[in-house]
Chains A and B, each alone.
Chain A
Amino acid sequence: MSLSALDAHAPEQPPVYREDLILAIPADRSLDELRSWIQEHTAPHSLAGRRVRLDIGSRALDLFEIRRLVALLQDDFEAENSGLIADRHHIHRFAERQLKLDLYAHEDLDDVAPEHITSVDLDDTLKEPPPPAFFPVTEDSGGPDSDFLTRPSPPIAPARAEPSGRRTMSLHRTLRSGTVVRFDGDVVIFGDVNPGAQVIAAGNVTIMGALKGMAHAGATGADDCFIFAFELHPTQIRIGRKIAIPPDEGNRRDEPEFARLVDSQILIEPYRARSAR
């Protein structure tokens, strides 16, 4: 029996951790049977007040399952769950699923050619929501830039050298409501960003599809970032420390557009390749 350290039945066998009991659930038992299994193998109340680590063996991690087990230990056995023991690769998969990002441990990166990954230190880490110093959404009905589609655009400043070594994340799927993508670099999305989804990037946001949700470029405070989309119909866009609400649907244009900050106003204009200017 893989019940490694339940002192109620094997008092002579010291627990692996001085204070924590390890409760290893045998591979052939379903997690649904955990309650009856514990009751079979422990004296009543022997878990009360103890710190318990749950070893789920080689099972995959499931958020709801784990929450249920933790609640069961607390509510039915009055034990404090102090940790979870699982296979490294399941933990990795779980984290990737939760973060919706590919994760690489340091040792994995040794295989990747160094020019693909450049380590960058950003002054601030990305934070959500934006810091309170943010410009509030202004109160007039058209949003802060109700005339921003009609205003003539000022001359484009000469291109600045891109800060070298900024990382780019590319995602090949549509972001649905409730999804948040955060990245401390540029983000490129091959798909749509639906209403209720958010893209928050320290750098530029490029959407090879429709932006209907919220995008925040320059989320660490950079004012020189842009948001590009094939169809730019956002719920809200944020660049640096500014927020804008697009005008009414009557003014919608179905052409590639990009948004950037000009004189601390968010300006949206049709995208033209640089060579055409």
Chain B
Amino acid sequence: MSECIVITSGKGGVGKTTTCANIGAGLALSGRRTVVVDADIGLRNLDVVMGLENRIVYDLVHAIEGECKLTQALIRDKRVEGLYLLPAAQTRDKNAVKPEDMKKLVASLKEDFDYVLIDCPAGIEQGFRNSIAGADRALLVTTPEVSAIRDADRIIGLLEAHEIPEPKLIINRYRPGMVQRGDMMNKEDILEILAIDLIGLIPDHEDVIISANRGLPAVFDPRSEVGRAFMRITGRVQGHQLPFPSMEEDTTFWGTFKRWMGLAPLREVV
């Protein structure tokens, strides 16, 4: 049974695209045929983050407008079996696509793939409506900031109005050290405000920026803490019950020293 999952946030810059690239790659690594769809028409990024920008010939708008076959617009990621990208058009805008078009597109992708992931643009306008049109469920990305959480709350309401129930929450850029010092909202506070289930907690780490700049999702690196966090989300997306390691900073002298040396940024306590 195939599923279409939209990855959304409302606020920009919280990590939707990175999340989409990583979960997409993670699902493919666990043997599921996966296509990631960039719905951010006019401001495409997913192709850059996945390092596939230079292979684009046709895009989503071409496929919808019938200028090419859907299979011609799909770009195969050579690093892992069963991972494909459907890039967005850069030279058009969000109004080039209508929600009904997206519904049809998703329906035909679902025939070929186990998972269709949609990278939703920021905002709640046409691009958002397009992205959620064909979605069966939603993953909501937020950061531990008041503004991002406010927007996430609005999105939960909009998703309910569009009959996409129970979005699952991903908290990104989580900094256990700051939480321990009381300088950052902890995950319990966030969950209390939003009142939805947590599906993943991604620590803030410079790996993410490096991997995005290299076009190599973090899940490809088993040593990356962020990559492992995304792999756990991937497991939970497929219905596995996985424990949440409680992330806390080692505040002993050696912990501080090792962190300073870049050896052990965080300790995972399962």
Residues in A lying within 8 Å of B, measured CB to CB: 67, 129-130, 132, 134, 136-137, 139, 141, 143, 177-180, 195-196, 198, 235-236, 243, 245-246
Contacts and interface: CB of A to CB of B under 8 A. Distances in A.
A2 B3 CA distance: 56
Given A137-B57, A243-B57, A132 B91 contact: no
Interface of B: 42-44, 53-58, 62, 67-69, 72, 76, 78, 90-91, 95
Secondary structure call for the A interface = loop
Nearest to B61: A129
Given A129-B68, A132-B68, A132-B72, A180 B54 contact: no
A180 B92 CA distance: 10
A68 to B, nearest CB: 12
Contacts, number: 40
B91 A236 contact: no
Given A129-B67, A129-B68, A139-B78, A134 B90 contact: no
Interface pairs A-B: 6 shortest CB-CB:
A245-B54, A180-B91, A235-B54, A196-B90, A137-B55, A178-B90
A43 to B, nearest CB: 32
Given A178-B42, A178-B90, A136 B57 contact: yes
A67 B67 CA distance: 25
B176 to A, nearest CB: 36
Contacts of B69: 132
B72 to A, nearest CB: 7
A141 B55 CA distance: 10
Contacts of A139: 76, 78
B54 A129 contact: no
Contact of B57 (A130, A179, A195): A130
Contacts of A179: 91
